[in-house]
Structure 1
Amino acid sequence: MSGVARGDRPALHTVYEMTSAKLFATIVRIVRERERAEDLLQDVYVKVWKRAGRFDPAKGSPITWLCAIARNTALNDLRRSARGEELAGDTLPEVEDDDIKPADEWLCDMEDNRALARCLEELQGDHRRSIKLAFFEGYSHSELAEKVNVPLGTMKSWIRRGLAGLKGCLGG
């Protein structure tokens, strides 16, 4: 990353070769369209090129930082595209757990999937579904609140309590 921060193109190529498959998988999981994911992956590496100097190894590993950029890029794209998916009813639907990609620092660490899935299942239903839809499907708090017809404060509370439960369960 330090080479990329200095403007070293071969360093960026090395980072790309080492991480592009993982970042592409992260993006395609969120946007669910291969061509769109390819375009977004390119955007991610443009951001990495411009922001590499901001990477702080004391705050996390390079792959964690890169995954956060990829995830945020994909989520921002989803929000901009005003997708047409609708949630029916006044409760949140279950989201499949078959291939969970954990949020933020767990996003690219496959060893933590089982622990996260177990901890998610221990959460209260509305908390669990809210977290899954917000972090794994890209819904914003306000989108979720509107879709399930609950006050925004309630949705934020569900997610905050769910995250606190995950933190406790995962030992963080």
Structure 2
Amino acid sequence: MKQLPKQYTEQLLIQELKQGSKKAFSILYDQYSAALFGSITRICKNTDTAQDVLQETFIKIYQRIGLYDESKGRLFTWLLCIARHTALDELRKNNIGIVMEINTGNQHEIDREYQVNQPGIELLGILDLVNKLSPHKRQLIDLIYYKGYTLVEVAKKLNMPVGTVKTRVRATLQSLRCQECI
């Protein structure tokens, strides 16, 4: 992932994006497209589909940038949420479905998988935060955010009530937010 040009801070970039600056949008694409593409590819499992979804993601970002609220989270988190939902919508639209596979490998194998398939994710510090989670919490984040499973699919696979999965995911995300602030 590239660094922002020296004259740009994330706040200035967001401000210019909200004003419709094509240069700012180009910088946004250069900055985040690789990491978003990696996340989309993990969900779609097909490079051609992932490229289409990435394009659709950036169209949605362009159309919705005015809705972004810095007080609710980081820009990358907002972008990743749009990318993830767009990828899941594509799978459901085409009735492709999601392959239910849980990475049961050891910590080193999981780390290598994230580094290979999530370009730029380690630069954001997200991988470090996820690595600090307990195996059960890490599994939930892996299934929902990196592999694109729904709460219902995770509940079925882990033999848990949907409400329990939802509560645990919410608690895990809250703990990640607290760690991010440290």
- Which residue in 1 is equivalent to 2:28? 15
Q: Does structure 2 retain, via aligned residues, the 8 Å contact 1:116–1:166?
A: yes
After superposition, what is the alpha-carbon deviation per residue over 1:102-134, rounded to whole angstroms, capped at 9, x for unaligned?
xxxxx67543413421x22x34x4x44333212
Q: Does structure 2 retain, via aligned residues, the 8 Å contact 1:142–1:152?
A: yes
Task: Tell me the percent identity.
Answer: 31
Q: 1:146 aligns with which of 156, 159, 164?
A: 156
Correspondence 1:116 to 2:130: yes
Correspondence 1:29 to 2:42: yes
Alignment of 1:1-172 (within 5 A): 1-80=14-93, 81-83=95-97, 85-86=99-100, 94=104, 96-100=110-114, 109-117=123-131, 119-120=132-133, 122-123=134-135, 125=136, 127-160=137-170, 162-163=172-173
Query: Unmatched 5+ residue regions in structure 2?
Result: 1-13, 116-120
Number of residues of Structure 1 aligned to a counterpart in Structure 2: 159
**Length-normalised TM-score, structure 2:** 0.65
Q: AA paired with 1:135?
A: Y
Q: Does structure 1 retain, via aligned residues, the 8 Å contact 2:129–2:176?
A: no
**Length-normalised TM-score, structure 1:** 0.68
After superposition, what is the alpha-carbon deviation per residue over 1:136-161, rounded to whole angstroms, capped at 9, x for unaligned?
21111111222344332343344345
Give the Cα–Cα distance (whole angstroms) in 1 for the partners of residues 170 and 87 of structure 2.
22
Q: Does structure 1 retain, via aligned residues, the 8 Å contact 2:98–2:149?
A: no
Q: AA paired with 1:85?
A: V
Q: Does structure 2 retain, via aligned residues, the 8 Å contact 1:22–1:108?
A: no
Q: Does structure 2 retain, via aligned residues, the 8 Å contact 1:55–1:65?
A: yes
Q: Does structure 2 retain, via aligned residues, the 8 Å contact 1:44–1:69?
A: yes
Q: Does structure 2 retain, via aligned residues, the 8 Å contact 1:63–1:108?
A: no
Q: AA paired with 2:83?
A: A
Query: Unmatched 5+ residue regions in structure 1?
Result: 102-106
Q: AA paired with 2:66?
A: G
Q: AA paired with 1:4?
A: L
Q: AA paired with 1:75?
A: L
